[in-house]
Structure 1
Amino acid sequence: MTKQGITTIRIALWGLVFLALLALLWFRVVAPRLEQDVTASLGRGDYHLTATDGSTFTQDSLKGAPSAVFFGFTHCPEVCPTTLGDIATWQEGLGEAGEALRVYFVTVDPERDTPEQLEQYVSWVPGVLGVSGAREEMDKAIKAFRIYARQVALDDGGYTMDHSAMVLLFDEGGDYAGLINYQEDYDRALGKLRALVGAS
């Protein structure tokens, strides 16, 4: 092999080493910090909404007790009623420890979901508060919780909502404490909630 060929191979190898170091730096340092910055600000924002008990729902509503927050809408055909059913099952599994958990069902469709309609919609699940408000305030909340929500037109001229389907968890300090995915395994979900409320 010529001297020039050896030099080319050395340059290529050093290039691979450099790329490997960049990848290591990204996965070990940069990406975790970015994720930490994003999750640390979840739920923080200048939104003012109305809960079905008449209280105002703001970022401070997440402080003082562990909370679970789910975004949905009352015309939801499957995900929302299923998740409310799961919440009822989790509360039953938590027993008395579940009394410490505050649960908020925040609409992504405030044009149709008034506080009165939300109250009726969530009333069958004990302890769940519905949350609605002006579209401008709702958009602030959707951004603060980093929720995906989009109106989708239907053939009949109406619309439905496409939205994130996870339940966000917050500790008593109002800090993000994890999530429960849609239809997550019952034991796994209950374990997360037990840890959140400090139940053994």
Structure 2
Amino acid sequence: MRTRRAVILGLGGVAGALAFTLGLGAWRSRGTAPATDPRLPLPIAEMDFTLTDQRGATVRPSDWIGRPTMIFFGFTFCPDVCPTTLSDISGWLEDLGPEADRLNVTLISVDPERDTPAVLSDYLANFDPRITGLTGPLAEVERAAAGFRAWFEKVPRDGDYTVNHTAGVFLFHPDGRFASIIDYHEDRRFAVPKIRRTIS
């Protein structure tokens, strides 16, 4: 059953990432995107939400301005996509060396019902310590997802539930402009240069 759940969740996440990537490809083919293009994340400066990190501190999008930012939506009960992506992110940060210290790197939980700050803290201890976890009221998580044009959906399963969600990793320039997305399972040879271009 765990394997089946992992496959279902992975497909849901990949489908979300694929839809986003197709939209991003259309934007690239036109050269520039209109400021109102609904397929692209808003600039961070235009986002408006308030969440709490794993240490209990309040975090708002404005806190990220001035440093390049990497954002991933996921949750601690995720059986496959999330731990894989967080392991990938940890590897990318290792590859970047000291450059990685310049990044805001954040997981936003799409399962605030279970992902308290304490749960996030325990979970993220398994990955690079530079990764911050955010949680908060569902309405605030929904506001965050809307700004990023990310998608998530609670799905009942076997007396419990899982959460399908966008699986890509969002990259933003220091001034908050959207830079790129790293797709789920994107080869490290392409992912790390994308991050370096965002940092430089």
Q: Based on CA coordinates, which of the two structures has the bigger radius of gyration?
A: 1
Query: In the aligned structure 2, how far is the partner of 1:153 from the partner of 1:37?
Result: 29
**Cα–Cα, structure 1 residues 172 and 121, in superposed 2: closer, same or farther, change >3 Å?**
same
Quote the residue 1:131 is aligned against: 134
- Aligned-pair identity in percent equals 38
CA contact (8 A) 1:142 1:148 kept: yes
Quote the residue 1:146 is aligned against: 149
Alignment of 1:168-179 (within 5 A): 168-179=170-181
Quote the residue 1:162 is aligned against: 164
CA contact (8 A) 1:49 1:133 kept: yes
Do structure 1's residue 82 and structure 2's residue 91 form an aligned pair? no
Secondary structure of 1:39's counterpart equals coil
**Cα–Cα, structure 1 residues 195 and 159, in superposed 2: closer, same or farther, change >3 Å?**
same
Secondary structure of 2:34's counterpart equals helix
Letter of the structure 2 residue corresponding to residue 106 of structure 1 = I
Q: Which has the higher contact order (CA 8 A, sep 6+)?
A: 2
Letter of the structure 1 residue corresponding to residue 147 of structure 2 = A
Secondary structure of 1:80's counterpart equals helix
Secondary structure of 1:109's counterpart equals coil
CA contact (8 A) 2:40 2:148 kept: no
Task: State the 1:82 CA deviation.
Answer: 0.1
Quote the residue 1:185 is aligned against: 187
- TM-score, normalising length from structure 1? 0.78
Q: Alignment partner for residue 110 of structure 1, among 109, 112, 123?
A: 112
How many corresponding residue pairs? 170
Secondary structure of 2:40's counterpart equals helix
Query: In the aligned structure 2, how far is the partner of 1:197 from the partner of 1:68?
Result: 10
Letter of the structure 1 residue corresponding to residue 191 of structure 2 = A
**Cα–Cα, structure 1 residues 173 and 126, in superposed 2: closer, same or farther, change >3 Å?**
same
Letter of the structure 2 residue corresponding to residue 180 of structure 1 = I
Query: In the aligned structure 1, how far is the partner of 2:143 from the partner of 2:186?
Result: 28
Letter of the structure 2 residue corresponding to residue 128 of structure 1 = I
Alignment of 1:42-53 (within 5 A): 42-43=43-44, 44-53=46-55
Quote the residue 1:39 is aligned against: 40
Quote the residue 1:14 is aligned against: none
Query: In the aligned structure 2, how far is the partner of 1:120 from the partner of 1:28?
Result: 44
Query: In the aligned structure 2, how far is the partner of 1:48 from the partner of 1:76?
Result: 23
**Cα–Cα, structure 1 residues 115 and 87, in superposed 2: closer, same or farther, change >3 Å?**
same
CA contact (8 A) 1:70 1:165 kept: yes
